[in-house]
Each structure stands twice: as C-alpha cells, then as structure tokens.
Amino acid sequence: MLIYHNSDEIEIRSRLPIIPLRDVVLFPHMIFPLLIGREFTMNALQEAMTGDKQILLVTQRKAGIDSPRGKDLYEVGVVAHILQVMKMPNGTVKVLVEGLVRARLEDVEMEDGNYLAADLNVALPDTDPTDRETEALSRSVNEKFADYVRLNRRIPDEVLITLASIENYDEKADTIAAHVLQKIERRQQLLETVLVKDRLRLLSQILEEEIEILKIEQKIDGSVRESMTRSQREFYLQQQLKAIKDELGQGEEPSAEVDDLYAMLDTNDYPEAVEIKAEEEIKRLSKMHPYSAEAGVVRSYLDWILGMPWQTSTEDRTSFDEVKSILDGDHYGLDKPKKRILEHLAVIRLAGQVKGPILCLVGPPGVGKTSVGRSIARSLGRKFVRMSLGGVSDESEVRGHRRTYIGALPGRVIQMIKKAGSNNPVFLLDEVDKIGKDFRGDPASALLEVLDPEQNNTFTDNYLELEFDLSNILFITTANSVTNIPPALLDRMEVIRLPGYLDFEKAAIARDYLTPKLVKELGLARVKVEFAEDALFEVIRHYTRESGVRELERQISAVLRKKAVELAEGKRLRGIAVTRKKINKLLGAPRYVDTDIKTTPTIGYALGLAWTSMGGEVLPVEVLPMVGKAKLVLTGSLGDVMQESANAALSYIRNHATKLGLRDDFFEKVDLHIHIPEGAVPKDGPSAGVTLLTATLSALNRIRVRTDIAMTGEITLSGDVLPVGGLNEKLLAARRHGIYELIVPNRNRKDIAELQPELLEGLTIHYVRYIRDVLKLTMTESPFANSKPRTGRNLGASARR
C-alpha cells in the first residue's frame, strides 16, 4: 500500500516483523529512541534491516511478559521507519525510529521461531478536514494544551513553538497526544482513534481532566508550603501525600506503632511517674503525622524511657567461697579491694538490701584497677559497664542534653545503664582524675550527685526528665593520683590504694596469669612453655621499670612470638624452656640499668628515695662546695618544691652552723652546687629534704655519709621531719638496689604497718622525728661531737678531689 509521509511516497509492505513495546505507546509523525535487548526483538530488527527498514511497533498489554504472543499485544500499532541503529556496550541495541501510520494487526505468528510478524490493515485517517467544527476543536485543544504545559513543569515550553508550526490536524493531534502524560491504556485509546475529529474530542476531554488535577496539585502544594517550617522541608513529599489524602477525604489510619507502644507499656513493669509520662507522650505521638520532625523526637524519647531497666535487677552471688574463688582466680594480690567486696556481701546477707558503695581505686598504671572492676562484677554476678572520663570536659556527657536540642541524647550514665539492662550493675568510672573543664560546664561537679549515696537515688537526667535510682549501683572509680580529684568529689568516695607490685608478686603474676594467657593467644597451647624463675626476675629487673605488669606482659609476649616464628618455620620444638641466659638473646641488651650507687661512705653524697608514676627510685644527691660568694646552684631538672627544700636545708645549716661545727659566716666565701643525676628526668616534691640537708652538711663539714642507708622525709626550718607518701614504691626501689637500712619519718609508722610483710622482710627501718636523728644515723661521725669550726680550711682542695 502506498502512503504519503512528509510529501514522500512510501510503500508499506503487507506483512512486517513486530517489536513489542513495554510501557510505551508510539504515535505517527513522532521520532522516538528505543532500547531493545530481547532475543526475538533483536531477530525482528535484523529482519527489518535486511529489507526496507520498516518495523511494526505494538505495545504489550502487560509489561511483565518476556515472551509475548498475539493475544498479549494490543490490536493497533504503528508502522515505523528505522532511522539509526547503535550497539551499546552492555549488549543491547539503541534504535531511532519514526512513526509512519497506524495499522491493525492480523494473523500474528512466530516466523521460523525467531521473531513475531503480522499482516497489516493500514488505518489511514480521513483526509484533512477543513470544516469549522474541526477548526474549533483544534483551537480549543491548542489552548488547553498551552494551559497544560504551563501547569505541568515536566513539559518544556519549546513544544508549543513546534506545535504552532504544524498545520495538518492529524499530525497536530498526534503530537499533542504524544506529550500528554497519561496511563498506557488511555494513550492506546488515542492511538486507536483514527478519525481526526474523534481524536480531537478525546484529547479535549483528557486535557480538561489533567488541567483540573494540576490545579488541585498547585493548591495542595501551596497549602503544604505555608504549613511547613525550615526543619520540615525534608518531609515535603510526605506532606504532599498527607494533603492529597485530606483533599480526597481520607484521614490517617491509626498507627500500629502507637499500639505497640501501649502494649509495651502494659506488658512491662514501670514506676508510676514513668507510666504517666509515657502515656502523655504516646498520646502526643498519635496526633502527629508519622513523618514530621517532632514525631521523630517523641518516638526516640519513648524508646529511651520504655527501654530503661527501671525495675530490672540482678541478684548478687552471696556465697563467700564462690566470690573469693573468682576474685583470686582473676587477680593476684589486691587484698584491700577483695576484702571490701566481701564486707559488702556480708552487709547484704545481714541487712538484705544496701546502697551500693562508691569505691575509688588509686594506684600507678598497670596494677589492675580497671580489670579488677570487671572481676568484681563477675564475682557478684552483676552486669559490668565502663565509662572513661579521661578528657571529658562537657557536663552534658554526664547529665545529657535537653530535648529542645536537635540530636539530643541522655548522658552517658543513663546510656550505660540501658546498655547493661539492669539497674544495679557494677559501673566503672575510669580515670576520674583526668576530667577536664571548659565553657561547656564542669563534669566533676555533675558527678557529685551521681556519686553521693544520699542523693543519687533521685538522679535526674536532662533528657529523661525523670528520676532514676542509682543507689543500687556499685560505682568504682579509678585514678593514678588523688591530687587532681576535686575535694568535694573525693569526699564522696571510699579510697582504696593499690600499691605497685613487688618483684616476687610480678613473677607470680607472670607465671600464673600472664604466661598461660599469652600461650593461648599466640597459638602455643600444644607446646609446653616454661619460664625459669631467674628468667622472669631478669625480665622484671632489667627490661621493665613499672609498678604494674603491662610492660612485663609485652616482654613475655615478645619472647613467645619469637618462639612462635620458629614453630611456623617448621622447626620442631618439644617444649619451650626460657632461661636467664636466653633472655638477652631473645630481648636484646637490657633496657634498664640500675642507678650507679657508690659503695663506700662518701663526702657530699647521700641516697634518697623518690616516688614516680612508674614506681619508686633511689635518688643520689651530690653536693660540691667551691670558693665563691654565697651562691647556691641547683641542677638536675628540679621542680619548685624540691628547690625550696634545698633552700630550707641550707637555711637550717646556716642557722645551726655553730652546733654543727661550722663558722657563722661560712657561706660568705662558699658557692654550693647541688646536683641530682639523670638531669633530663624532671624531679619534684618535698620528700628529698632530709637527703639534701645531709649531703649539703657532709660537703661542708667533710664528714662522710654512709651509702648503705637511704632516707626520705620533708624538713622544716626548725629541724622537724614530716611524713611523706609513696612508701610502698620507695621501699621496693631500695630492695631492688640492695639497700636494706632505711630512714623514715616517725609519723609514717602507721603507713609502714599496712605494708605487706614480704616487702618489710629483712629491712631495718629507723623512725625519726628530727633532723639531728637523721644526721646521727647517716654520718660516719657525729657532726655534734665537736663544736670546733671545721669549714673554711682547704675548700679548694676538696673541690679538686
């Protein structure tokens, strides 16, 4: 059949291959790109390309059918001319086609099993009518389509310019039909309408309906925008949906989420105040749109208050033997915290219910403060939670944020209790001495309520705004020193000091705890591993310098890793026996060498004892007199307090010069240089006062000082010796250096009595009240025996020695 298209004469074949279309209806006079990939459509395309490039495009009734037959296709399609074919990288083919004429399908069959084909009954439109009715219909459709384009933002305005250049009514109707956004069924109806007048009438009806819908959408859009705030703009689409439902008279259905919240409230046991608050919030939530920002805030709040363990608690294990067995199995030593837990159990057994104590474990790093909290929880059968306070400088970390803030949450205290799932866990507040403070508040002050047994039963978080009882919680805080803990906070805690471990304790911990743990972790369980006792002491004394056992664990791990390498390389080892001789080979040269201490009595030289965060140290003090003009030189990175102690020692000597065998004016012609070795290591504190005075007096009166005795104590200008701290570490350092005679302030006698018997074994401790007692014990001659002035003779010679 011959047709005319764009003034060209085209012959249409009577039977053409078919390409079924999904969700697309093509109109005559339109150029349209298609993407095809199904095998039978590829075959149909190939058949068309071998001929005159004519193809029949028909829309499927159901897009989900992959292999359609004749009954699955609409009866009217479009004969199209293939303009361009392009193969895509993913294997599909992009085809550019131009619609020519409508055609009705007849006798649809699969050709050779490769593609669909059909006979055609070409549906030619009536000749272009010129009557007034057609012109009126055309003008009406043009005006309505212009309104439609103006209201519909998805159609470009350029379409109107193109439409104005089309004079043929048939082509104009098809162009408008192609741009009207309608369902497939309505577009197919337009395609099957052959007569131009009928098609224009149908288009007029469709455009009127679409324009009415678009006007309603604009009205809805305006009302939604007016009711929205900036924070709600992200919910714009959901608000549109709500407004559409309101326009149609469809209200919101009751939320299943509200029913679930009521069910949770009825099922679980909550305090009365919590139930009242929860019911109020659930009622508020039920009246809100589920996608509003405020609904999200209320929903999150309800999740928190209904998820808290208000009435949920665990029962304590009350068997003394079981608790003691667990504590001893997890930690060596630490008798004080273990005894305190047993006392807590005894009170529970007698009183039935007791407020949780607040324990503060104070000690150097690595002695097991944090791990003992976990062990206490396991021994009592309670849940364990840990909150690190190091660097915390925001009060809201403890009390939480108020719900008025975006992203508000409860404080970490409430968060940890919810995580524990019970209202009586063991709560470890780690590094309480390292709390910060800035413009956001003082967390230490916020902790006052948390750690006060008389107040924490009504603790109120800013977010929850409900009282939560913290009195059943066993709070344990840890610190390296109580110096930085605010006094008000320290007053609320029961301080238990954990001293550094002695060498024999470290060896026992390494043998019974660390080595079995590391053997399992490093995959050496099938090999027998033994550390000789002298090998452990070699590692402890020359490869670690600490009060705890962290570095010791790392060194033992290094030894075992080297053995693990040998096993991995295929070397057969019946067992791993680590002796002292092998330590140097496995770990290299010793990392720590004991301070070089003189072995004979020496002038201007005395031994003190110092406490450091890593343990105790023996502190040699050297004093050298020189000819000069009353100048005191202090070197060795001495802090302000130690410098003041040196000045106080010199002032005491000058005030008692005659009694000590010195001239009253001895300092006018003398310069004194006081030095404490290892100058790069900062040193401070008052406990070196007696040592500084003894060494200074020895340098001036030329009496030698014993080097087999060490001392510690603060001095006053009147000669009193005041108590000091850190005695456990100081005595441990003296034993490590082979010094077994010590001088300690008399007021520290009570502290010595609390130390372990193993530490005191073999030590001779002298308790002193006044500095003269110290001088009598440390100097080889009594400085008070002869009041004849000794200083001023041959100072230059003493300086040259």
Active centre residues (catalytic): 687, 730
Return d(Cα 685, Cα 730) in angstroms, integer.
Answer: 14
Q: From CA 142, how far away is CA 279, in angstroms rounded?
A: 59
Q: How far is CA 137 from the centre of its chain?
A: 70
Strand stretches in 564-701, DSSP E: 575-578, 605-612, 615-627, 631-635, 670-675
| 387-397 burial: b if 16+ Cβ within 10 Å, else e | bebeebbbbbb
Q: Could you please report the per-residue DSSP string of 121-153?
A: EEEPPPP---SHHHHHHHHHHHHHHHHHHHH-T
Element (H, E) at 359: strand 358-362
Between CA 107 and CA 133 the distance in angstroms is: 38
Q: Residue 32 pairs with which residues in a beta bridge? A: 97
Place of tokens 């470890």: 428
- Interatomic CA distance for residues 76 and 58, integer angstroms: 7
Task: Tell me the torsion sign for CA atoms 439, 445, 450, 456.
Answer: negative
Task: Tell me which residue of 652, 655, 641, 700 sits closest to 673, measured CA to CA.
Answer: 700
Measured CA to CA, the distance from residue 504 to residue 758 in angstroms comes to: 9
Rounded distance between C-alpha atoms, residue 349 and residue 351, angstroms: 6
How many Å apart are CA 289 and CA 564, to the nearest integer?
Answer: 63
CA 516/CA 495 separation, integer angstroms: 32
3-state helix, strand, coil in the chain (%, to 5): 45, 20, 35
Is residue 51 exposed (0-12), middle (13-18) or buried (19+ Cβ within 10 Å)? exposed
Instruction: Give every CB contact of residue 555 below 8 A, 6+ residues apart in sequence.
Output: 539, 543, 544, 587
Please state, in angstroms and rounded to a whole number, the distance separating the CA atoms of residues 241 and 252: 11
Alpha-carbon distance values, 660 to 136, 503, 553, 693, 782 (Å): 132, 41, 51, 12, 9
Query: Euclidean distance between the first and final Cα of the chain, in Å?
Result: 131
- Enter the DSSP assignment of 483: T
Pairing assessment for the beta strands 709-711 and 741-745 based on DSSP bridges: parallel
Whether 742 and 734 have beta carbons less than 8 Å apart is answered as: yes
**How many residues comprise the chain?**
801
Which run of H or of E encompasses 478? strand 474-479
Nearest alpha carbon to residue 179 among 149, 212, 144, 216: 149
Residue 363 has, within 13 A of its CA and on its CB side, a CA count of 25
CA distance 633 to 763: 35
Residue 226 burial (C-beta neighbours within 10 Å; 0-12, 13-18, 19+): exposed
Query: Is the CB of residue 326 less than 8 Å from the CB of residue 375?
Result: yes
